[in-house]
Structure formats: C-alpha cells, structure tokens
Structure 1
Amino acid sequence: MLIAPPLYLLLDLAVVGRLGGTQLAALGVATLVLSVISTQLTFLSYGTTARSARRFGAGDRPGAVVEGVQASWIGVLVGIVIVAVMYPLAPVIMHVLVGSGSARSDEVVADAAGWLRIAMFGVPLILLSMAGNGWMRGVQDTRRPVLYVVAGLSVAAVLVVGLTHGVGFFPRLGMPGSAIANLIGQAITGLLFLIRVVREAGRSGPEHLRPDWSIMRAQLVMARDLVLRSLSFQVCFLSAAAVAARFGVSAVAAHQVVLQLWEFMSLFLDSLAIAAQALVGAALGAGAVGAAVGVARKVTLVSVIAAGVMAGVFALGAGLIPRLFTSEPDILDAIVVPWWFFVAMLPIAGIVFALDGVLLGSGDARFLRTATLTAALVGFLPLIWLSLVLDWGLAGIWSGLMVFMLIRLGAVGLRVRGGQWRRTGVPS
C-alpha cells in the first residue's frame, strides 16, 4: 500500500513534465515541501502502529482502536493549524528554496507556490489517513487501508491527466489541475479512514470517540522522538533541493526526479518494514520474544532481496526510465550522476529500512531519533553544503545521502544485534 502514493506522484511528475522543464522543477519542489510538512507527523502512523499493535497483541482490541481515535484527533487539529500557517507563507518558502534573479527561476517560484496553496488543504486529510493506517495495521487489518488509498489515488490519477492537459471533457488547467487532483484524492482516502474509525470505536460506546488527553499526551511523548527523526530527514532533503536549485533549473529538476524514485523505493521497502513493525509489536505485547526475533530476521532477508532486484531493474533501465518524466536533453544529462548513486544505495536501504521497522515495532523511537540526527549532522548536511561551496554539483549532494545511509546502517545493525529492543508488555 505504501508504494501507491509515490506511484501516483511519479505519474504526476510524468504528466506535469510534459508541460515543460520549468513546471517539472516547480512540481518537484512543491511536492517536496508538502511531503516535509505532512511527514513531520509520521508518528500518527508509525507511533500509532506500535502502540496499537502492543495492545492488540495483549488482547485489548478496543484499546488499540482508541489509540487510532486519539491519533485522528491530533491529526485533524494539527492539520488545520498547518494550513492556516503555511498558506500565506508558500511564496516565501519557494523563494528561499529556489532563489530568484532569472525569469525562469521566478516562474518556478510562482508555479510551485500556486500548486502548494491548493494542495495544502489536503494536509488534515493526509494526517487523518496516517492515523487510520497506524491503528488498522496495529490490529492486523491490512486489506481495508489498501482499498482506501487505492480508491483515492485512482480518482486522482484520472483527474491529474484530465485537468492538467484538458483531456476529454475536462478543462485544461495546467499545474493547478495537478494540485486539485491531489486534493480530491486525499479527501476521498481521508474520509474513508474517518468513517472506519468512527464505526469501529462507536461499537464500544460513544465515549470512545471523545478526545482522551491522557492517551494523546502518551502519544505525543513518543511523537517527540519521531518528529525529531523526521525533521532531520526533511532538513536534509530541503537543503539538498535548495543547493541543487543553485546549480540551475535542470539540476533541480533532475535531482527531484531521482529523489522521487528514491522516495518510491523507500516506501516500497517500508511496506515490508511496517509488516515487521506490526508483527514485532504484537509479539512483544504478547511476551513472545522468540517470535519477534524470527520476524526481524525474515523481514530483513526479504527486504534485501527485494532491494537487490529493484536495483537491477533501475540499472538496466537507466537509459529508458528517465525519459518517462522528461524529454529535455539538459535534464536527462543531469540525471545520470544521481541515478547511479540511487542504484548503489538500494541494497543498503533494504537492510536499514527493515531494521528501522523492527525497532519502531519495539518502541525504540529514542534510539532511532539519535541515530538519524547523528547521521544527518555528521554525514548528509556537511556534504550538501560543501557541494555548494566547492561546486561539487549533484555528485556531492548524493554522496551526502550515501554517507547518511551508511551511518544509519551501522547504527541500527549494532542496536538490533545488541538485543536492547526486546522489551515486552503494553504501552503506558
């Protein structure tokens, strides 16, 4: 299920890329900002899965659902605040990221800000979907979330083609059409998750639908570590986009295309990691340490094999796949360097993401926070900014990402081998 949103985004990039390189660059930067904003609250998904799975494993399904209700309250309330704050700031943020001084840069800024201002209204719905995914995975309900996400994205996929290029009876709206399609798709998915959590919690009594501040506080304690972890990711990726933009529109467009493929593969591998998270959480909630260790080993093996196969696919498709997103020679030339970094990092990611899932399932969020912050501060950020100062271009930026992944590999590998994550019981 996790690969459905990045698949849609890749379609979006391909559709908007046919409008021109400027629009492709604008969409890449705008979707990055939207991703940064929404993924700062990934604890609504990952943290809720861990807490719900523990309760479910201990035989407390109603308690697991209540975790989802409270996460949904947090998502909606925080989402509304984000829209109110970010809507007026969209042009300012784009100027900071893209820069100015040329007509083409100013056009990227205007297009990106306009897209973001429309799509921004989907943030509360995105966060509601995260919360829904979290508690439903925790209670081992994995079929419905797939249907909900696919329902929303299927409608969005039709609309993005129709509204962007005016296909059939749709008006031709250009980039705003892409944003409207995104918003409608998020609305459908978010509402489906809302209906499900209301029905499920309502079976145990209407009191279970009310805000419970004690549970919210406990969720926010775990959120602190996950938010800091997510923030380190996003600071790195925003810095990378800002530096890439200083090397020209073609460079930032190329960087964002490969970065979206990286995001796609990250979520593809995360789908395996989340299975580990739910199963490890349930096993530890039931006190079955041996089962949790077995899940960790199996998921890591499968993840490494899957990552290796996909690395081979992208290596063989190096001359063809980039042309699905753009036909501009300058962008295609610029894609070559980050492409091979991307291919080389996939097997590393197969191990890292699987072990991340194991540790998240055990509730070891504090360690993951520290490991990710260290990798960002020591590896990724210094190389990104040295790339700007020393004119290393995209090679320097993607070298930073490689070092970032290697540091995380060492950290999570040692942590899992040490066994500190094998703590049993339910969350407080």
Structure 2
Amino acid sequence: MKKTATHCQPVSRRLHGIWPLVWPIMLSNLCVPLLGAVDTAILGHLDSPRYLGAVAIGASLISLLYWSFGFLRMGTTSLVSRAVGRRDQNEASQLWLRSAVLALLLAAGLLALKPWFIELGMYFMQPEPGVATLAASYSAIRVLSAPATLLNYTLIGWFIGQQDTRRPLLLVLTANGVNLLLDLVLIVGLKMNSDGAAWASVIAEYSALGIGLYLLAGKIDRASLRARWHQCLTRWREYLPLLQVNRHLFVRTACLLGVFTFFTAQGARMSTEIVAANAILLQFVLLTSHALDGFAHAAEALCGKAVGANNRAEFIRVVQGTTALALITALAISLLFWAGQSVWLALFTELPQVLAQASAQFGWVIALPLLTVWAYQLDGIFLGRGATRAMQNIMLLCTVAMFIPLWWFTQPLGNSGLWLAFCGFNLARSLAMGLVFWGQQRRLSL
C-alpha cells in the first residue's frame, strides 16, 4: 500500500485533478433543479396556485418513485470506479450492462404498478380535490418516462465512475434544453398547464437517453460486451455485488425521499398556499443539494479509484480537497440566499399569500447549506469506499429517531415546525456520518 504523508502537501497538490472533475458534475447537477425552478416559475405565474400545487405533489411522488432507484447511478459509479482503479475495463463495461438490465426490469415493474402507486400517493397526500385531480394526471404522464430515466441513471453513473464528467453534462444539458423548450410550447403556448409540464419532462428524458447511448457507444469496450453479453445476462451470481450495494442504497434513498414526500404531504394538508410556498422553497434546497453533490460525486469517483488501487495517500488527499471546496461552496450559497431573498422569491411567484408563506420560512433555506454539506460530502466518500451499509443505517436512524419525533412534537408550530424537523434531520445526518467516518478512519487501513 502506498503511504505518503498528506498533511505536508501544498494546497495546490491536494486540489490537483479535483476541480476539472467537479465543475462538469456541478453544472450538470445544477441544470436539474434549475429546470424544476423554471417549471415552478412558469406555473407560479399562472392565474391559480392549483397548478403549482399539483406539480409539487405530482413531482414529489415521481421523485419518490424514481429517486428510490437512484442507487442505479450511485451503485454503478461506486463499483465502476473501483474497477477502474484495478485497471479492469472489461469488468467496468460489463457492470454497465448488468445495471442496464436491472434498470429495465425495474422500469417494467413501475409501469405495471402505476395505477396503484398514484392512487396510494393521492390518498397519502390528501390534497384539495381540484389539486388532487391535476396531480394524478401529472403523475400518470410522468411515469411513462421510467425506462429512459432509469437507464439514464446507469449511463451517468458509468461515465462518472470512469472519471468522465463531461459526457453526463452533455446528456443533462440535452434533457434540460428540450424540457425548457417544450415547457414554453406546451404550458405557455398550448395552455396545457401541469399536464404540459409532465409531457415536456417525458420527452426530454427519452431525448437524453438517445444522446447518452450514442456517447456510450464511443467510450465503452464494445468488443468485450459482444463477446460476453450472454454471460452478463445469464450468470446471475455476477449481479450479487451490484444487488448488495443497491439494496443498501435503496433503503437509504427510500428513507430520504420518504422524508421529502412526507414534508410535501404535510404542507398539502395545511393549505394550497403553504404547499405552493414549500414547493418554491424546496427549489432552493434542491439547488443547494445538486451543487454540493458535485463534490460528492467527485469524491465518490476519486475515492473509489483510490480504494481500487489500494492507495491510502490518494484517498486522504481526495477527502481533504473535495471537503474543503464543498465547505467554501456551502458558505457562498448561504450568503447568496441571504443577500437576495426578496429577489429570488419574486422570480417564482407574484401571488401575495404564497410569497408571504415563503418569506416566513426562508431563514431555514439560508441555514441548510451549512447544515447539510457534511452529509452530502460524506455520502460520496462512503460510496467510494463501498460503505453502503453504514449509509443505510445512519439514514434509518436519523429518520426514525430524529425527523419523526421532532415533527411530532413541533406540530403546534405549523409549517415552521415542519421546517424545523427537516433541518434537524439533515443536521443529524451530518453529525452521525461524521462520527462514523472518524471512527472508521481510526480502525481501518483505508
């Protein structure tokens, strides 16, 4: 094992190779919530908050559905990056094929269960009747993109695992460009409102898939896949590492999205104005998470490569460099939110009651980047090292022991109590993951 002292290295050495990997991920990540922000802004300027509320509820359900399978991205990156560290490109290529097969099987299941999932979601959310009808229609349309969305997860995960972040950027830019154009045509031009937003997203996902497969063909080891595709599809034992990693990540992601969905549901039960205001505020939360995830994705790919090469010095360098940059970014985001609160909110809506509700809770949005930066960053480090069981257990603990009790006891505070529980949950994640990482570093060689 290589053991080079890292504490004596200059700052430029510690950050070497990190920023070129980070910026395309950060830009591609930011495109996702920025597009959601555009959707929210367009719908927020229609004549009724019902459309914004419907998309907030429908998008929350679809996020729970799709992001629960976000392990297809994370698990693929984790395993591929370690294969790259071992210089085993044959295994890396076959990992994508296995991930793609798994993605298509899961997508088929989602399409088959679509009616029951939507009905259960509406029952759980309990929005006002007019909003519920629009939200159900939006959700039914969005589910049609399941095959494309899940396959895109595997493509992005494979590229990042290969230390290639520019191809995912092109893929995401394609999806967002198509979505934005169709938003203007379908929502503004054809007056399709929330249904228009749904169809725009579906078409954009399939457009991105086409670009992604084209980019993959130019980079993957096609000769290896042609020679071994039958083995990849029939030797189910070879799926075990992928399934084991994905099982832990599925539970972890389901808990996280369960918190987001519960958060939206509670706002919907309070009033249409509150759920609309929270939908706007969550756009800032998503902007934060996607920006900070750029460093987490870089840490995952680089740490995974260091683990595959059994290089502890490189692992420590990546942890220090990505964490320092993530902290600086989190502070900058909080200052940006604080300085421009009234300007940012005015971009999303002109409805006075919605603006008032959003302004009352904006302080939580300012604090969240500094509360959550550790959780995002350590997610990437844990993934790179393959510590997915720890990620699962920490998320379960924080959901059951922090979020639910804190929400229960702060219900008299209304929406403020809901935001307090959400922020407490994220702070607990950061602290718990930090403690576990510190303990593991003392006990493990890598």
For 1:269 and 1:56, how far apart are their aligned partners in 2? Answer: 24
Which one-letter code corresponds to 1:126 in the other structure? T
- 1:362 maps to 2:390: no
**Contact map agreement 1:236 1:376 (CA 8 A) in 2:** yes
Deviation per CA, 1:22-55: give whole Å up to 9, x if none. 1111111111111111111111111111100000
- 1:260 maps to 2:283: yes
Matching residue of 1:149: 172
Given the two structures, how large is their TM-score scaled by the length of structure 2? 0.89
Residue among 165, 185, 192 paired with 2:211:
192
Instruction: Tell me the CA shift for residue 295 of structure 1.
Output: 0.5
**Per the alignment, do residues 409 and 82 of structure 1 end up closer, same or farther by CA in structure 2, a change over 3 Å counting?**
same
**Contact map agreement 2:267 2:415 (CA 8 A) in 1:** yes
Q: Which runs of 5+ in 2 are unaligned?
A: 1-27
Matching residue of 2:9: none
For 1:422 and 1:313, how far apart are their aligned partners in 2? Answer: 39
**Contact map agreement 1:269 1:303 (CA 8 A) in 2:** yes
**Contact map agreement 1:284 1:362 (CA 8 A) in 2:** yes
Which one-letter code corresponds to 1:409 in the other structure? S
- Higher mean C-alpha deviation, range 196-205 or range 287-296: 196-205
For 1:159 and 1:254, how far apart are their aligned partners in 2? Answer: 25
For 2:175 and 2:123, how far apart are their aligned partners in 1? Answer: 31
**Contact map agreement 2:167 2:215 (CA 8 A) in 1:** no
- 1:16 maps to 2:51: no
SS in structure 1 at match of 2:350: coil
Which one-letter code corresponds to 1:314 in the other structure? F
Deviation per CA, 1:278-307: give whole Å up to 9, x if none. 000001101111110110011111001001
**Per the alignment, do residues 217 and 315 of structure 1 end up closer, same or farther by CA in structure 2, a change over 3 Å counting?**
same
Which one-letter code corresponds to 2:383 in the other structure? L
Deviation per CA, 1:358-409: give whole Å up to 9, x if none. 111100010111111111111112223444xx43211111111121122112
- 1:162 maps to 2:169: no
Matching residue of 2:434: 413
Matching residue of 1:66: 94
Instruction: Tell me the CA shift for residue 216 of structure 1.
Output: 2.2
For 1:289 and 1:332, how far apart are their aligned partners in 2? Answer: 50
- 1:221 maps to 2:244: yes
Instruction: Tell me the CA shift for residue 423 of structure 1.
Output: 6.1
Aligned residues: 413
SS in structure 2 at match of 1:59: coil
Residue among 360, 365, 374 paired with 2:397:
374
Deviation per CA, 1:224-273: give whole Å up to 9, x if none. 11111111112212211121112111111111211222122111111110
**Per the alignment, do residues 420 and 155 of structure 1 end up closer, same or farther by CA in structure 2, a change over 3 Å counting?**
farther
For 2:386 and 2:37, how far apart are their aligned partners in 1? Answer: 32
Which one-letter code corresponds to 2:35 in the other structure? Y
Instruction: Tell me the CA shift for residue 115 of structure 1.
Output: 0.8
Quote the sequence identity (%): 26
**Per the alignment, do residues 125 and 358 of structure 1 end up closer, same or farther by CA in structure 2, a change over 3 Å counting?**
same
For 1:191 and 1:88, how far apart are their aligned partners in 2? Answer: 30
**Contact map agreement 1:239 1:381 (CA 8 A) in 2:** no
Matching residue of 1:78: 106
Residue among 40, 45, 58 paired with 1:30:
58
For 2:352 and 2:229, how far apart are their aligned partners in 1? Answer: 55
For 1:122 and 1:309, how far apart are their aligned partners in 2? Answer: 35
- Higher mean C-alpha deviation, range 312-321 or range 347-356: 347-356
For 1:421 and 1:353, how far apart are their aligned partners in 2? Answer: 23
Instruction: Tell me the CA shift for residue 195 of structure 1.
Output: 3.8
Aligned pairs (5 A) from 1:278-293:
278-293=301-316
For 1:214 and 1:42, how far apart are their aligned partners in 2? Answer: 22
**Contact map agreement 1:362 1:422 (CA 8 A) in 2:** no
Matching residue of 1:181: 200
For 1:154 and 1:215, how far apart are their aligned partners in 2? Answer: 38
- 1:336 maps to 2:393: no
Aligned pairs (5 A) from 1:113-152:
113-152=136-175
Residue among 52, 66, 69 paired with 1:41:
69
**Per the alignment, do residues 183 and 315 of structure 1 end up closer, same or farther by CA in structure 2, a change over 3 Å counting?**
same
Which one-letter code corresponds to 1:367 in the other structure? A
Matching residue of 2:337: 314
Residue among 346, 353, 365 paired with 1:323:
346
Deviation per CA, 1:291-349: give whole Å up to 9, x if none. 10110011111001001001111111111211211111111111123311121121122
**Contact map agreement 1:362 1:423 (CA 8 A) in 2:** no
Residue among 277, 297, 304 paired with 2:327:
304
Matching residue of 2:421: 400
For 1:117 and 1:412, how far apart are their aligned partners in 2? Answer: 37
**Contact map agreement 1:67 1:215 (CA 8 A) in 2:** no
Which one-letter code corresponds to 1:300 in the other structure? T
Given the two structures, how large is their TM-score scaled by the length of structure 1? 0.92
Q: Which runs of 5+ in 1 are unaligned?
A: 100-104
- 1:90 maps to 2:109: no
**Contact map agreement 2:54 2:194 (CA 8 A) in 1:** no
Which one-letter code corresponds to 2:62 in the other structure? L
